[in-house]
């Protein structure tokens, strides 16, 4: 599928001596895995090329994936091919110097919010961007090289973005791509331990959330994690945000949301919105966000706006439930 654009991207990588990889703000396993995995594939295949991955930060739970490159001069950016992975819009690219690159490639699996880049390969039905990188490797396996390090990065992104191969977007092709990585060699025991073991104190926070969570009349489960709660449990924003996962298995609640007070000057509240069966990305788009059909992010700036978003989601869920059968 999409062989032409993949070939165009391969040829571009071949043409440039310098390649720079970019990803989205609030990085996650998929964008980190895709950038690190593709970087490793390029380095193995063309050892003479300069490949840079420069990003100011990496989420603490992903630090095990290793360090990244030091900042370089603007001149280096200007002569490079930029490849942006897993990022729907320019505003969400974390390293803003991507704009200096001579040419730009976009490889993404989000619903496109805008068209940026000189070459675009977007497959929104893919379960992760890492899966696209594996597909890229497998399409040109006669020309590209891979090793255990690259496989480990790419598998990390495939596992995290697909909810451990649980979500709707997982297909036979997803598992064939994952299988190709396992054939190369992935330490799954260690990976799952690094990703999913939880601290004793965090489980206490979860217990608190189960006590405090609420449900709208038509079945949207939600929780507001304000600054006081974050301080009470000594949580980073990242840890507080991860709480969305605890609301995902309530029978009848086909959508759920976590609101995380960020404490910034604008009074912004991070919204993590999820669903099964019903599509909620239109709600996220209305509130300064976007994402996938069943997993989106947004931002609101007051508790009133938070309640408005919840009312919109509740109405959407109501309509869905009235017009569909078989939801759980």
Contact assessment for residue 272 and residue 241, using Cβ atoms and an 8 Å cutoff: yes
CB of 133 to ligand AMP, least distance (A): 16
Q: What are the tokens at 251?
A: 């029978």
Q: Kindly tell me which residue out of 29, 33, 297, 306 binds ligand AMP, with binding defined by CB under 6 A.
A: 297
CB of 17 to ligand AMP, least distance (A): 31
Closer Cβ to ligand AMP, 151 or 258, answer by number: 258
Q: Which residues contact residue 190 at a Cβ distance below 8 angstroms, ignoring those fewer than 6 apart?
A: none
Q: Which of 90, 66, 169, 189 is nearest to 126 (CA)?
A: 169
Q: Which residue has the tokens 């104190």?
A: 201
CB of 225 to ligand AMP, least distance (A): 13
Q: Kindly tell me which residue out of 150, 186, 242, 295 binds ligand AMP, with binding defined by CB under 6 A.
A: 295
Contact assessment for residue 289 and residue 299, using Cβ atoms and an 8 Å cutoff: yes
Closer Cβ to ligand AMP, 40 or 110, answer by number: 110
Cα–Cα distance, 121 to 105 (Å, whole number): 8
The SS3 call for residue 62 is helix
Residues 23-62, mask of contacts with ligand AMP (x by CB under 6 A)? -x-x------------------------------------
Q: Which residues contact residue 53 at a Cβ distance below 8 angstroms, ignoring those fewer than 6 apart?
A: 20, 21, 35, 36, 39, 68, 69
Closer Cβ to ligand AMP, 144 or 280, answer by number: 280
| H or E element at residue 21 | strand 18-22
- Other Cβ atoms closer than 10 A to 86: 28
Residue 169 binds to ligand AMP (criterion: CB under 6 A): no
Cα–Cα distance, 272 to 258 (Å, whole number): 5
Closer Cβ to ligand AMP, 237 or 315, answer by number: 237
Contact assessment for residue 7 and residue 70, using Cβ atoms and an 8 Å cutoff: no
Q: Kindly tell me which residue out of 13, 292, 309, 320 binds ligand AMP, with binding defined by CB under 6 A.
A: 292
Closer Cβ to ligand AMP, 146 or 297, answer by number: 297
Residue 291 binds to ligand AMP (criterion: CB under 6 A): yes
Residues 243-282, mask of contacts with ligand AMP (x by CB under 6 A)? -----------------------------x----------
- Sites of contact with ligand AMP (CB under 6 A): 24, 26, 88, 92, 110, 113, 272, 289-292, 295-297
């Amino acid at each position: 599928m999409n062989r032409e654009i993949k070939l165009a991207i391969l040829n571009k990588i071949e043409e440039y001596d310098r390649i720079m990889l970019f990803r989205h703000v609030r990085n996650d396993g998929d964008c980190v895995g895709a950038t690190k995995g593709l970087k490793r594939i390029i380095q193995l295949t063309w050892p003479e090329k300069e490949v840079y991955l420069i990003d100011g930060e990496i989420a603490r739970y992903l630090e095990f994936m290793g360090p990244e490159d030091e900042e370089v001069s603007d001149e280096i950016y200007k002569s490079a091919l930029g490849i942006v992975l897993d990022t729907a819009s320019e505003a969400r690219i974390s390293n803003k110097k991507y704009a200096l690159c001579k040419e730009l490639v976009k490889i993404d699996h989000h619903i496109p919010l805008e068209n940026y880049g000189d070459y675009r390969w977007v497959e929104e039905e893919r379960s992760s961007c890492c899966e696209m990188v594996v597909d890229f490797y497998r399409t040109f396996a006669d020309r590209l090289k891979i090793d255990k390090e690259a496989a480990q990065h790419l598998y990390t992104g495939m596992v995290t973005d697909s909810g451990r191969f649980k979500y709707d977007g997982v297909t036979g092709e997803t598992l064939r791509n994952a299988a190709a990585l396992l054939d190369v060699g992935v330490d799954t025991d260690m990976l799952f331990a690094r990703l999913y073991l939880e601290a004793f104190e965090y489980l206490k926070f979860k217990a608190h959330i189960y006590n405090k969570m609420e449900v709208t009349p038509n079945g949207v489960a939600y929780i507001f994690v304000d600054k006081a709660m974050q301080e009470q449990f000594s949580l980073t924003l990242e840890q507080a945000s991860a709480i969305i996962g605890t609301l995902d298995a309530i029978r009848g609640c086909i959508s759920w949301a976590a609101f995380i007070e960020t404490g910034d000057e604008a009074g912004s509240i991070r919204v993590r919105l999820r669903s099964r069966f019903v599509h909620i990305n239109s709600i996220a788009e209305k509130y300064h966000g976007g994402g996938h059909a069943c997993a989106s992010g947004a931002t609101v700036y007051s508790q009133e706006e938070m309640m408005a978003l919840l009312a919109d989601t509740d109405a959407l869920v109501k309509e869905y439930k009235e017009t569909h059968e078989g939801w759980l």
